[in-house]
Amino acid sequence: MAALNLRVDEGTKRTVEARAKGQHRTLSDQARRYLEIAIIAEDNPELSFGFIEGVLEAKAERDAGLLEPVDWSVEVDGGRQKRTGR
């Protein structure tokens, strides 16, 4: 991983520090997270911040092996499962 020296105003630094603490991340990890989201948002201006964040969280869950396969041939109808015949 390469190092990047970044200068920001004091208010921005305090905000990022506070959010890093709230997310249990280091300042560097929080800055990396914001850069990653900013790059994705710049490349995909139609996507909301929340959507991008959700995709990144889902990717992290996949990478951690937390996803379960979905049986798309089962349809839930009022709490009951039935086969769709597909």
At 48 the pLDDT is 96
Q: Report, as ranges of residue numbers, the positions in the chain whose pLDDT lies below 50.
A: none
At 63 the pLDDT is 96
**What residue has token string 């996803």?**
67
Residue 8: closest CA among 21, 27, 26, 33: 27
At 1 the pLDDT is 85
At 17 the pLDDT is 97
Rounded to 10 degrees, the C-alpha dihedral 61/3/34/12 comes to 150
| The model's pTM | 0.70
Q: Which helix (H) or strand (E) holds 37?
A: helix 27-43
- State which amino acid sits at residue 72: W
Q: How far apart are CA 60 and CA 20, in angstroms?
A: 18
